[in-house]
Structure formats: C-alpha cells, structure tokens
Structure 1
Amino acid sequence: MWSVWLSVISLLIVIATNWLYRWRNPKCNGKLPPGSMGLPLIGETLSFLVSNKSIDMPPFIKKRMKQYGPIFRTSLAGRPVVISSDPEFNHYVFQQEGKLVERWYMDSFAKILNEDATRISAQTNIHKYLRNRILGHFGPEVLKDKMLPKLEDAMDQRLQGWSKLSSLEVKKSTSAMIFDFTAKQLFSYEPEKAKENIAESFTNFLQGLMSFPINIPGTAYHRCLRNQKKAINLITTMFEERKRNPEIRKGDFLDQILADMKTETFFTDNFVIYTMFGLLLASFETISSTLTLAIKLINDHPKVVQALTEEHEAILKNREDVNSGLIWKEYKSMTFTHNVTNEALRLGSVAPGFLRRTIQDIQINGYTIPKGWALMVVPAALQLNPKTYEDPLAFNPWRWQDISANVTAKNFIPFGAGMTSCAGADFSKVLMAVFLHVLFTKYRWTTIKGGEVIRSPTLGFGDGFYIQVSAKHG
C-alpha cells in the first residue's frame, strides 16, 4: 500500500514540476525576451497592481526596465505579456495593426466592455468604420463648427454650480461633468431628468477596473461591475426607446448608429449598447484624470497661473464684444494653454499601457515574441524618459516651446499612435482648454485639500483633491 501511495505522490511531483517548468519557460520558436513569468496562474499581477505615491512610472515597470532592458516578458492575470518601452519598436508595432498585431483587452476589461463587442470592434475594418463615425461627431470639424459653444456653455454652467458649494472633490466632479456632456452628445442624455445621478458612480472607475478581477461584494472590481450595470441599463433604455420611435431625431451619435444598423450587419443591439458605453468610459475617465492633474499642478506653480491668466485675459481684451463666445481662432491661439495640456498629458499617462495581441511571431533585437502573446506599450516609460525630457517629473509647460515633432512622434503617445490612435484626442484637448479658459476668465479657486498623486497603476489622487470655486465678479 505504501508503495502505491509513494508512486502516486512521485507521479504528482513529476507532473507539478513539469507544469511549473513549462509555466516558467513558455514555448517559443526562438529566444524569448528576458523576464520572469512569476507565480503560476497569477504571474506577477500583484506586483503590477502595487500602488506608488509618485507621479513617476509604476515601480513594477521601472524596476524591470532597469533589470531586463526596454523589452521584457511577464505574466499578468494568467496571460503571457511582453512589455515594451522601446520607442522605435513601439512605433513599428502601431504601424502593424492588422498585420502583426490586433487590438486586445485584459479579461477584466473584456468583461466590462462585453467580450463579443470587444472581439468585433477589434476587427480592423470595423474599428476603422467606427473611428470615422466617432470623428464625424467628435472630430476637429465638428468641434470647430458646432461643439465649441456647447462646450463653453456646459463648462460655465458646471463651474457656476460648483461656485455654490463649500468645496468639491475635483476628480469626482470633473468625471460627472464630462460623463454628462459626452452622454448628451452620444444619446441626448439629460441628467437633470434622470432618477439617479449615475455620473457620480463612476469616480475612479478605471482604478477599480485595474484591480484584481475578483467579483466579490466589497471589492473594487465588484463595484465596477455594479456601476457598469447602471450605465448599461441607462443606455439600453435610451436605445430601445429610440428604436421604438424612429421618428425621433436628435442629431446625436445614436441617430447615426440607428441609421447604420439598417445597412451594417455587425451593428447588433448588444454591440451598439456596449460600444456607446466604451466611448463613455474612454472619455470621462481619462479626460477627468488628466484635467484633475492639470488643475493640481497649475495650482502648485504660481508662474503657470500667471501665464495662463495673462493668455486668457488677452483673448477677452482682443474681442470686439467681451461677452461673445469662444471661437476656433481664439482656441488655436492658446499657445501656453496647449503647452499646459500637453504637459499634463505627458505626466499623467492615465492608461498604464496600450494592449495588443500578436497574430504571428514578431522578431525584435534577437528575441521572438510568440504568436498569441499580449504586447503592452507603456506610455509613461516614454513620456517620463530623462533621455528625452529633461527633468521629466517636473511640471514645465515651457519645455514644449522647444520640443520638435520628430521627438514627440515616438515619445509622446497619450492617445496611442497609428491607425488605431484615439479618435477623441482633439475632443479631449479642446475640452480641457475650454475648461481652463472659462475657469481663468470667470472664476477663481482655493485648495482645501491637496490630494496626493498615486499610481495603482492608473493615475489617482489618494484621499481626494478638494477645492472651493468662486466667481470673479459678483
């Protein structure tokens, strides 16, 4: 009997040892990039998610770059991943969409955004189609001709409401502001008529989404799923109501999609609903984080406050009618404001990385990245590189006066790059610039609580960044 048990135990040890060896040494038709696969199943996920009280790049990335170089392998949430901070290779990868790589989402993101919807939208032709539709409603021409006055009015109304409060948490408040505005452009959402302030539920949504994907009450990921359901229910209600009443025309993004559903077979109800949610998530979460960081950094630098004040007051002085609305020519003239926005985007690096999946083996510097592996391009590693940006952790908008387009093409990618770069890039920049214009011409603010910058690995503000807003006149 003992010999039987000994044989079973020995067999189990051999199986476990073999499995562990294969985990640590994945199959590859060549030489894998250096690195470690971490613990079985969870890989190095826990280390990746460790918070860091600094604006610097996540310590997980920084430590391994120092140890292995700009390209290394790891495992996150059970998936083999190659992480790259090599600007030349990253630029090459972005040019190979649909050839060597395809868009990909971590399992936690895929579940939130719906796996079928993410799989369909990752197809190159469909992504291109959607991108063109998004640009048709949020691109430069629409911003210039239609949306600029709407943005200015929305920012002014929100700041006016803030001025009546004793204090407000900036990230939460800007998230709600951007959620409401974007939802109105997407499907004519009217928050004042809603039964519940859904926008309030989405503070720090991305941080919860980047937590370990355990759906247990009390966890950040569980809260994400719960809040996601609120938004999905809202969008579903609006979508179904519009389908039942085709005579209703709002001139919004949903109108366009409903028209496209008559000719494009990939536009199922489920796909439309989750696409709308994905657009909402991409706008309010990333823009609000960058805008909050910008306000905090501006607040800490009196010379920046002075320069912005002078620029925006000059715009008013040069108008024939000081009460007329902001025009595109004035927006384009905001040189220093654009520098401030770029500097906040550079330092913010809200997304911890842009994910792709290899659709065939990729050769790089003598290494092979196997087909089917995930590839993560890390913007913070490029945008906080001291070889590219002098004193990279310093908030210095003036640095943008001397940075050439050749440098930024491969080392400044807050919106990605290539054919799948964010279609909302111009919308994000215009929104932040318009907000700063309204803030500096009509309001002032006082910091109530500083808000410690953290990365976990997304950008966050500790216990919150609180300010008090008041009108300049009256």
Structure 2
Amino acid sequence: MDFAPRRWGLAVLEVVPSVRWTGAALVPLLVVTVILLLRNWNWWYYAPMLRKGQAPLPPGDMGWPVIGQILDFLRAFKSSDPDSFIGNMTKRWGRHSLYRTHLFGQPTVLATTAESIKQVCMNGEVFKSGWPKSTRTVLGRKSFAVLEGDEHRRLRRLTSQALQGQEVLKNYIPKIEDNCKERLKSWAKEGQFQAVPKLQEFTFEVISSIFMSYGGGPVAQQLLHDFELMVYGLRAMAINIPGFAYHKSLQARKKVINALQSILDERRMNKTVKYSDVLETLLETRDENGVYLTDEEIIDTLVVFLVAGHQSSTFSIAWVMIFVQRHPEVLRACREEQLRIQKSKSPGEHLTYADFRNMTYLSSVIDETMRIVNVSPFAFRRVSKTVEIDGFTVPKGWFIETWLRAAHLDERVYPEPYEFKPERWQTFKPRTGQFMLFGLGSRSCIGNELAKLEMSIFLHHAILSYRWEPVNPHSPTKYLPHPQPVDGYLVNFSRI
C-alpha cells in the first residue's frame, strides 16, 4: 500500500517525457500535413473524377491555393530566360503537348505544340474566349475579343471590311508613309533617344489617324498617356484598389472612353464632312437586318484595334531594328531590296500596295523577328465541354492557354530556334499551327496585314536613309508586359 503512490508517481514521471516527446513530434508532423494539404489543394478541388477508360489529365503541378504557379511564371518572365517556365515542366514530366497548371486564379492547361494549338484555335465551339477578368474589363464587354457565338461573328464580319483587302489597305499607305517620313526626320535632329517610347508615339499616331483621323498635339499626347496606363492593366491581377495596376487601368479607361465618345459624338453631329478612315466605315456599316453598330460596339472595337495595332507594331519594329543592327549582312540585304523599290519610283511618289508585296526579304526579316520575340506569347481560351487532345482529358470549366512561344521556338520545326535566320523563310512554308503571330481560326487578328504594312513602310524608309547605334548594346531584356530592352533601346540616330 505504501508503495502505490510512489509507483504512480514514478509512472507519471516516466509518461511525462514520453508525452512531451510525442507533442514535439506532432508539431513537424502537423506542419508537413498542412503543407501537403495546401500543396495539393488545387488538385483536389479542381481535378474531376475520371471515368474508367477515360484519358488521364495532362501532367503538371497546380501549385498553391489561389496563387497557383503564378510566382513561378513571374519568376521566369522576369528573368533572362522566360522559356524556363515551360522548360522546367519538360524536365520534370518529359516532353508533352499539354501540361496542367493553375495561372491567373484559374485551373489551366497549356497547349505547347503546333498540333495541340491548332486543335484549340480551330474549334471555337468548344474553346471559347477565356481572357482573365482584367483583360475582359479593360477591352470592354462589346469587344469582339470577348464576345461569343453569333454576336462575335456579326461584329467581326462588320468590322473586317474596314481593314482587309488590297483596295482598303492601299488607301492607308499615304497616311502611314507621310507620318513615317516626318517622324524619322525629326528623330535624326534629336540625335539620341529611347527608340521604344518614340515608336509608341509613332504607332499610336498612325493607328489613330487610320482609324479616326486623329492627329497629334497635346490632346493626342494626353490620350496616348491614358491609353498606355489602360493597357498596362490588361494582364494585371483584377484588384480594384488604389495603388494597384488594375485600378489605375480602369481609371485611365474611363478617360479613353470619354475621349472616343467625344470623337464619335462630333462625327454624328457633323455628317457633311467625309473621312477616309475606319470610324467612318463603322458608322455607315449595317448588318443584314439593317441594324447599325451601337456606340458601345464601335468604341470597344476601336479600343481593341488601338491596343492590337499599337502594341504589336511598336515592339516588332523595335526588335527588327535591334536584329538588323546586330546582323550587318541582313541589313545590307534589306537595304539592297528597298533600294530596288526606291529606284522604281518617281521623286516624291508614294509607295504602293504592289511595292509592299515586293518586299519579300523584308517580310522574312519581320516574320523571323516576330517568331523569336513573341510580343504576345500566349492566348486564353475557356473549355465549354470536356474533350480529349493528344491522349489527355481537358476538363470542362478549365481554361487553356495556347502557348505560342513554345510552338515558335520548337527546334523540331525551327532548327536552331533562337538564332536569327531570315533566310529560313525563303524555303520554309509553315503548316497550320506552326506560325501564329496573329492568331488562328475565328479569333485571328483581322488587322494582321495592316500591321505588317505599317511595319514595312517604316522600315523601308528607316533602312534606306538612316543609321542607328545602341548606346547600351548589351542591355538586358525585360519580358513583361512585352519584350523590350531595359533601357528602352537607347540609340544614337542619324541620317545616312
């Protein structure tokens, strides 16, 4: 009896360290459990239960809750190797046409080969427009980049007649060429400047002139400023709080819309004046039922075209200037071709559409530049019906990104893909899906030929009559929001 309390005390003394040890072991075990739970949360939450015999989901990693793999994406695109994002997937899971991930707040499949991208782009019934909320809001709810079905087809059909075809495009050549010659002349007087901002001013003025006969001056400069702020929020996280890019973008969009509405109101009030521009065509266009476009449809259409025409042309021209300056033999070949075209013209005579079509080597230079640079590296689609692609299930409700950059840099299609070789285009004829700078299928860019026309005319005059030397030839490249030298391509610019 006397020993019972003592035995109990000894037992307690023996148990307490054990309890303490077990509690200490539970902490790391709990931490590991929580990490595993969070690390697999997106998979458990979004991945559907597959039926027996159904193709597996694409390989991949869906990252952390909410943020997914956006940090890995940003890390890659803020480095000197943006292709490491896909490259790391290839190293981890092998080479596949599709990978699963979680980007921009949504479960996503990445299509990375020409064939898989073609299947997505050519099937508009299953793969709908899937741009993130920030893009949809900034572009506008009546933008045909956002619309679906019959509404999308109607607006695309009505707007395309103002941008496509030889008869339409040849009318824009004098406006582009006059603006180009004036800009280059003024830049030569300035001597040293950042080429990217200068090109942004040039392309915005050209596209504004073609679309709505909108000239330069302080008002145009303010519109450009607001427009650039608006564009910056296209791919930002949709956080509408002061200080965030998306909030600034929405505020700038209001100013841009007000400016475009004022132009539209003035046109409607003064119908006696005729303009040879896109806006005039949009105002006069009616569908098969005799219905005119609404103000919202016209304004959102203008916004889309201003974004597409301004951004792609700016950075494509800049990179052509960079590449031909780095490759003197390419610059010589370009100059020889443009000199032949110049010699066929009378003094002061404008270029023609036929001249543009005869710039075959320059066209190869532009294509090769855009292939390597990929100003728009991917496009978004939303999956409306579960489908199978290349032996993988793509679930309904997920999103799919056509990773154009991977297709354009595929060494199986383009040997030495990172090497600048315009001559490859002299014999290479890409199959559908292998070269998609302006998209593919029902959502391809209807202004693609106008964009290339603008680039060709500018480069014709720049290559013939001017020289430029980079001040920082080894300036690193930043890839967000678009690829460009960190220094804005600071150059010494002069007339030959």
The two structures share one fold, judged by TM-score above 0.5: yes
CA distance in 2: counterparts of 1:181 and 1:208, whole angstroms: 23
* In structure 2, distance between residues paired with 1:315 and 1:195: 33
Q: Are the aligned partners of 1:309 and 1:441 in contact in 2 as well (CA < 8 Å)?
A: yes
Q: Provide the C-alpha distance between the structure 1 equivalents of 2:367 and 2:104, rounded to a whole number of angstroms.
A: 32
Say whether 1:104 aligns with 2:125: no
**How far apart are residue 225 of structure 1 and its match?**
3.4
Contact between 1:55 and 1:347, CA under 8 Å: does it hold in 2?
no
Out of 130, 145, 164, the residue aligned to residue 155 of structure 2 is: 130
Q: Which residue of 2 aligns with 1:415?
A: 438
Question: Residues 15 and 298 from structure 1, CA distance in 2 versus in 1: closer, same or farther, beyond 3 angstroms?
Answer: closer
Per the alignment, residue 199 of structure 2 pairs with: 174
Q: Percent identity?
A: 27
1:466 is matched by which residue type in structure 2?
A: L
1:413 aligned counterpart, secondary structure:
coil
Give the corresponding residue for 1:76.
103
- Counterpart selection for 1:141 from 126, 150, 166: 166
Alignment partners' CA distance in 1, 2:220 and 2:350: 32
Structure 2 residue 281 is matched with structure 1 residue 256: yes
| Deviation per residue, 1:376-425 (Å, 9 max, x gap) | 10111011111111111111111111212xx3422111111122211111
Partner of 2:337: 311
Q: 1:306 to 1:185 in 2, by over 3 A?
A: same
Aligned to 1:5: none
Could you say which residue in structure 2 is the equivalent of 1:388? 413
Paired residues of 1:104 and 1:122 also in contact (CA < 8 A): no
The answer for unaligned runs of 5 or more in structure 1 is: 1-13
Give, as a single letter, the amino acid of the residue that structure 2 aligns with 1:88: E
**What is the CA distance between 1:86 and its match in structure 2?**
2.2
1:471 maps onto 2:490 in alignment = no
Assess, with a 3 A threshold, how the Cα gap between structure 1 residues 77 and 193 changes in structure 2: closer, same or farther: closer
Structure 1 match to 2:83:
58
Structure 2 letter corresponding to 1:307: A
Q: Residue 398 of structure 1 aligns to which amino acid in structure 2? A: E
SS in 1 for 2:280: helix
Cα distance in 2 for partners of 1:177, 1:155 equals: 8
1:287 aligns with 2:308: no
Which has the larger displacement, 218-227 or 289-298?
218-227
2:437 partner amino acid: P
For 1:24, the equivalent position in structure 2 comes to 43
Residues in 2 aligned to 1:196 and 1:344: alpha-carbon distance in whole angstroms? 29
Whether 1:90 and 2:114 are equivalent positions in the alignment is no
Q: In the aligned structure 2, how far is the partner of 1:264 from the partner of 1:19? A: 56
Measured in 1, the distance between the counterparts of 2:49 and 2:456 equals 48
Considering Cα pairs closer than 8 Å and 6+ residues apart, tell me whether 1 or 2 has the greater RCO.
1
- Could you tell me whether the CA contact under 8 Å between 2:388 and 2:394 is conserved in 1? yes
Q: Please state how far the C-alpha of 1:438 moved relative to its aligned partner.
A: 0.9
Over residues 72-100 of structure 1, what are the superposed CA-to-partner deviations in whole Å (9 max), with x where a residue is unaligned? 11111221111011221211222211x21
Query: One-letter code of the match for 2:166?
Result: E
- Look up the SS of the partner of 1:446 in the other structure: strand
TM-superposition CA deviations, 1:268-306 (whole Å, max 9, x none): 433332221111011101111111111111111111111
**What is the CA-CA distance between 1:226 and the residue it aligns to?**
4.0
Aligned residue in 2 for 1:273 = 299
Q: So what's the TM-score if we normalise by structure 1? A: 0.87
1:411 is paired with a residue whose SS is: coil
- Work out whether residues 387 and 395 of structure 2, in 8 Å CA contact, stay in contact via their aligned partners in 1: yes
Q: Which runs of 5+ in 2 are unaligned?
A: 1-32
Q: Distance in 2 between matches of 1:432 and 1:106?
A: 29
* Match 1:364 to one of 364, 368, 389: 389
Report how far residue 133 of structure 1 moved.
Answer: 3.6
Deviations 1:56-86 (A, max 9, x none): 6532222223333220111112211110112
TM-superposed deviation, 1:20:
7.7
**What's the C-alpha RMSD, in Å, of the aligned pairs?**
2.9
- Measure how far apart 1:43 and its partner are: 1.2
Q: Would you say the 8 A contact 1:206–1:458 is kept in 2? A: no
- TM-score under structure 2 normalisation? 0.83
Letter in 1 for 2:42: W
Residue number in structure 1 paired with 2:256 = 231
Which amino acid in structure 2 is aligned with residue 439 of structure 1?
Answer: A
Report the Cα offset of residue 232 of structure 1: 2.1
State the structure with more CA Rg. Answer: 2
